[in-house]
Chains A and B, each alone.
Chain A
Amino acid sequence: MAKERSRKGAPRRGSKLRKEPARKPPGFETRAVHAGEEPEDQFRAVIPPIYHTSTYCLEEVGKSHGYDYSRTGNPTRTMLERKLASLECAKYGLAFASGMAAVNAVLALLDCGDQVLCEENVYGGTHRLLSNIFPKFKIGLSWVDATDLEKVRKGFRENTKLLWIETPTNPLLKILDIEALARLAHEHHSLLVVDNTFASPFLQRPVERGCDIVVHSTTKYIGGHSDFIGGAVVTNNDQVYLDLAYYQNAAGAVPSPSDCYLAARSLKTLALRMRQHCFNAKRIAEFLNGDTRIRKVYYPGLPGHSGHELAKSQMSDFGGMISFELDGDIETTKAFVTGLKYFALASSLGAVESLVAHPVTMTHTSLSLAERERIGIRDNLVRISVGVEDVTDLIEDLDRALTKVLGPSRSRR
C-alpha cells in the first residue's frame, strides 16, 4: 500500500479510483469516515496529526509544501474542508470559526447597493447580521415567505444578488422547495444560499438540487457533541469559492486546528447520529401530537405538516428538531422548559444531548414583537433538539414536565 503512494502525499484512494471509470462513488458512511483523510506519510498514522502550528518552513524562497501560514491554510482544516465537500457532494468546502462567520463571509461577497432576498423565518443570528450589520454597507434586504413561490418571484429586484433560505426553518420547521427556489434565483441572475444546518448533509444535499452556496453551523449536527463553535461554506461555483477563500484568509475568521479535528471526528458518526435523532424525534412528535396539553406540533415528519410531502421528496428523513406550542401562557411555558430532566435548557441544537429552548426569550430575541407575531413565534412556543438518548426516557421526561405545569393529559385526541 505504501509503495503506491506518491511522496507528495497525493490521495491514495482518490488516485486509484480515478483509474477505474464508471465506478460509483463510495456510500455516505464510507465517505464520512475516509474522505479528506489519508494515513500520513511520515509514520503512516491512521489519523492525520492535528497541526497546531501557525507557520511552515519553506523548502526555499517562494517554495512551500503547499502551506505557508495557518490562517491561509492548515492541513487539519483542509481535511475537514474536503470531508465536508465530499459529504455535500460538492467541489469545495471552507471552514470558519463559527456559523455566523460563514454567513458573514458569504454576505461579504456582496457590494454596496446589492440586495438580499431572505426567507423571513431564519435563525436570529442571521437575522441580526442582515438587519443590523450589513445595512451599514448599504446592502439592501427584503423579507419573504419563501413557501410562496409567487411572492418570491415578485421579491426579486434588479440588484438582488442572493436568495437566502433555511430549510427546515428555525424554529417553525417550514420546508422550502430548494429546486424551485434555485430555478427562480437563477432566472433572476441571483445565487441561492441554503443554510443546511438543521438537516445536515446526511438528510439533505442542496447542491444536488441546484443550490449555489450551502452554509452550516458545524456546531450543530456536524459537530454533534456541543463541544466547539464552527461554521462552513460548501459550493460548486469556482468563482464563489475563490472569492470566499480570499475573504477567509483576508478576514481570518478561521477555526482552530483542534476544532477542525473535532469536527472531522464528528462527521464519522454523522449518519449514525442522524438516524437516531430522526428515529427519536418521530416518536416524540407523535407523542406530542396526540397530547391534549399541546396546542400545535411543528415537525415535518408528521403527515399533517404543511411541508410533509416536500420534505419527503427533498430530504431522506425529517431530522431531530421539533417545535410545539403549549396549551398555556408564557409563565407556564417557562416553568415547563425549566422542569425537564434530560432536556437541558440551553441555546444550540443538534447534539447527542437533548436540549430545549424557548425561542422568544433565547434564540430569537433579536426579532421585534411585531416580527415574531407576523412569523408565528409565539410566547408558548417550545423548541426541542432531540438527542440520541433512549426515546422512552425522553418521552417520560416530557410527560412528567407537562404534568407538573398542566396536569395529566386529559384524553388522547
Chain B
Amino acid sequence: MRYLTKIVHAGEKPCPATGAIVTPIYQTATYVMDGVGKDKGYDYSRHSHPTRRVLELKMAALEGGVDATCFSAGMAAIDALMHTLEKGDHILACDDLYGGTKRLFSQIYTKVGLEFDLIDMTDPSVIKKRLKKNTRMIFIETPSNPMLKLIDIKAAAKAAKDAGIHCVVDNTFMTPYFQRPLELGADVVVHSLTKYLSGHNDLIGGAVVTTDKKFAEKINWIAKSVGNGLGPQDCYLTIRGIKTLGLRMRQHNDNAVKIAKFLEGHPKVSKVIYPGLESHPQHALAKKQATGFGGMISFELKGGIKAGIKCMESVKVWLLAESLGGVESMVTHPYTMTHKDVPEDQKRKLGITEGLVRLSVGIEDAEDLIEDLDRAIS
C-alpha cells in the first residue's frame, strides 16, 4: 500500500456490525460485559475506546511504528514520556524547543528530580559528548520552533542507540507525510495532533508512536492510569483530518516555498528562515531526511519590532493567533506568544528577537497570501 492510500485506509475497516464505511464515534464511557471478566476488548473508555484505537493504528502505520497512543494534547503526550522516567534521570534535548515543552521540563519535571540539558545539536557530534551516565532519553524537534533549525535524525538516533537509550523526535512540524523519524532510526515520535495531522484548528490532541513494543505498552498504561487519553469526537475529527494530510501538506509546502521566495526578495525583509531556501544553512540536510520543507517560515523585518508588530496587525487574510498547521494561514509573534515563558537571556541566545515573525502558511491561494503580506509589510 502506497502512502496516499495508507493515509485514507490504514487502521480502518468497515464496521462489522453495520458495514458503515466510516469509523463510528463511540461516545460511551463503559461497555457491557459478556460475563465476569469477559469483555470484547474494551471495558472503560479511559483505558481505551474503539475510535481512539483506530486513530492509534493509523498513526502507527503512518509513522512506521509498532503502536501508538493518543492523548488529550501534545503536551499530554510529552508528559506521558516524562512519566516513563524517574528521579535522577537525565534528558538531553535540543535548545530550540517549543515553549510548552520547555515549560514542562523546567517548571514541572525539574521539581521532581529529572535533569535536563538543552543544547545546540546542529552539529550532531556534540550529542555523544554531552551524554551522561544517567542520560535516559534524547529529545529533539526538527525543524525546531520557531528558528527552524534542523537536527540530523539519523545521527541523533545512532548516538542514542550506541548509549542504549531512546531517541524521541517531535515530528509535529513535518508530519509523517514529509519525514518519518522511526525509519531513520529514532525510537519514539511525539506529535501535537492539533497541528498538521488534524489540520483544521478544531481540536487539541497529541500522540506517541514507537517501534518499541514494551515502551508502547508502558505509554498505554500511563494514558490509562493518568487518564489523559483523547476523547472519541476528537479522535474522529483527527482520523478525518488525516484523510487529506497528503493533499494539505503538498499545498502548505508549495505555498510556503512561494512565500519564502517572495520574502527573500523583499527589500524590507532582513532575514528569512525556511529550510526550503537554498540560503538555509541546512538546506541539504532538509532534502536528505525529509521529502518536503513544510509550511512554517520565520522572518524578520528591517524595521525590527515596530515594523514586525505593524505587519502582524495589518494582515487581513492571515490571522494573528497562536498554533499552526491549520488550513488557515496564521501569523505569530513568538516573543510574546508561543515563547513568552522562555527566559529573556535564552530567547536572545536562540535568536527569538522581538522582531521575529513566525508564519504558518495555510492552504489558501498563495497569491492572496503574498498580496496580503506585501500590503502589510509596506
Instruction: Report A's interface with B, CB cutoff 8 A.
Output: 1, 12-13, 16, 26-30, 32-34, 39, 44, 46-47, 225-227, 262, 265, 268-269, 271-273, 275-276, 342, 344, 346, 351-353, 355, 387-390, 392-394
Closest chain A residue to B4, Cβ basis: A390
Check A388–B4 contact: CB distance below 8 A. Answer: yes
In-complex Cβ contact of A26 among B3, B317, B363 (8 A):
B317
Q: Which residues of A contact B47 (CB under 8 A)?
A: none
Check B4–A265 contact: CB distance below 8 A. Answer: no
CA distance A108 to B132 in the complex (A): 77
Check B367–A1 contact: CB distance below 8 A. Answer: no
Check B363–A226 contact: CB distance below 8 A. Answer: no
- Does B218 interact with chain A (Cβ within 8 Å)? no
Say which size band chain B's interface belongs to. 35 or more
Closest chain B residue to A23, Cβ basis: B371
Closest chain B residue to A228, Cβ basis: B22
Check B244–A272 contact: CB distance below 8 A. Answer: yes
What is the 8 Å Cβ interface bit string for chain B, positions 319-331, against chain A (1 contact, 0 not)? 1110100111010
Q: Which residues of B contact A269 (CB under 8 A)?
A: 244, 247-248, 327, 363
| Pairs across A and B, CB under 8 Å, 14 listed | A29-B364, A33-B327, A34-B328, A46-B321, A225-B22, A227-B22, A265-B200, A269-B248, A273-B247, A276-B4, A352-B243, A353-B21, A387-B8, A388-B246
Q: Which residues of A contact B247 (CB under 8 A)?
A: 269, 272-273, 275-276, 388
CA distance A227 to B9 in the complex (A): 15
- Does B201 interact with chain A (Cβ within 8 Å)? yes
- Does B123 interact with chain A (Cβ within 8 Å)? no
Check A227–B319 contact: CB distance below 8 A. Answer: no
Check A29–B365 contact: CB distance below 8 A. Answer: yes
Q: Which residues of A contact B317 (CB under 8 A)?
A: 13, 26, 30, 34
Closest chain B residue to A352, Cβ basis: B243
Q: Which residues of B contact A394 (CB under 8 A)?
A: 5
CA distance A39 to B247 in the complex (A): 25
Q: Which residues of A contact B202 (CB under 8 A)?
A: 47, 265
Check B328–A46 contact: CB distance below 8 A. Answer: yes
CA distance A26 to B370 in the complex (A): 12
With A27-B368, A46-B326 known as contacts, the answer to whether A388 contacts B8 (CB < 8 A) is: yes
Check A393–B2 contact: CB distance below 8 A. Answer: yes
CA distance A339 to B4 in the complex (A): 21
Check A390–B3 contact: CB distance below 8 A. Answer: yes
Q: Most chain-A CB neighbours within 10 Å: which of B22, B244, B320, B363? A: B244
- Does B303 interact with chain A (Cβ within 8 Å)? no
Check A393–B5 contact: CB distance below 8 A. Answer: yes
Check A39–B364 contact: CB distance below 8 A. Answer: no
Check A34–B364 contact: CB distance below 8 A. Answer: yes
Nearest-neighbour CB distance to chain B for A138, whole angstroms, equals 40
- Does B1 interact with chain A (Cβ within 8 Å)? yes
CA distance A112 to B135 in the complex (A): 83
With A342-B5, A389-B4 known as contacts, the answer to whether A227 contacts B327 (CB < 8 A) is: no
Q: Which residues of B contact A27 (CB under 8 A)?
A: 364-365, 367-368
What is the 8 Å Cβ interface bit string for chain B, positions 209-229, against chain A (1 contact, 0 not)? 000000000000000000000
Q: Most chain-A CB neighbours within 10 Å: which of B313, B321, B328? A: B328
- Does B362 interact with chain A (Cβ within 8 Å)? yes
Instruction: Report B's interface with A, CB cutoff 8 A.
Output: 1-5, 7-9, 14, 19, 21-22, 200-202, 240, 243-244, 246-248, 250-251, 313, 316-317, 319-321, 323, 326-328, 330, 362-365, 367-369
Nearest-neighbour CB distance to chain A for B17, whole angstroms, equals 16
Q: Which residues of B contact A342 (CB under 8 A)?
A: 5, 9
Nearest-neighbour CB distance to chain A for B251, whole angstroms, equals 6
CA distance A351 to B9 in the complex (A): 12
The 10 lowest CB-CB distance pairs between A and B, nearest first, are A27-B365, A390-B2, A30-B364, A389-B5, A272-B247, A390-B4, A30-B368, A393-B5, A268-B327, A352-B243
Nearest-neighbour CB distance to chain B for A71, whole angstroms, equals 24
Check A225–B240 contact: CB distance below 8 A. Answer: yes
Q: Which residues of A contact B246 (CB under 8 A)?
A: 388
Give 17 A-B pairs besides A47-B200, A272-B244 with Cβ atoms closer than 8 angstroms.
Answer: A27-B364, A27-B367, A30-B368, A33-B328, A46-B330, A47-B201, A262-B240, A265-B200, A268-B363, A344-B14, A346-B21, A352-B8, A388-B4, A388-B246, A389-B8, A390-B3, A393-B4
With A33-B364, A34-B328, A269-B248 known as contacts, the answer to whether A46 contacts B9 (CB < 8 A) is: no
Closest chain A residue to B319, Cβ basis: A46
Check B316–A226 contact: CB distance below 8 A. Answer: no
Nearest-neighbour CB distance to chain B for A184, whole angstroms, equals 35
Closest chain A residue to B250, Cβ basis: A272
Q: Which residues of B contact A47 (CB under 8 A)?
A: 200-202
CA distance A411 to B312 in the complex (A): 61
In-complex Cβ contact of A353 among B8, B326, B369 (8 A):
B8
Nearest-neighbour CB distance to chain B for A340, whole angstroms, equals 13
Check B2–A30 contact: CB distance below 8 A. Answer: no
Nearest-neighbour CB distance to chain B for A37, whole angstroms, equals 9
CA distance A119 to B12 in the complex (A): 39
Q: Which residues of B contact A392 (CB under 8 A)?
A: 2
Q: Which residues of A contact B19 (CB under 8 A)?
A: 346
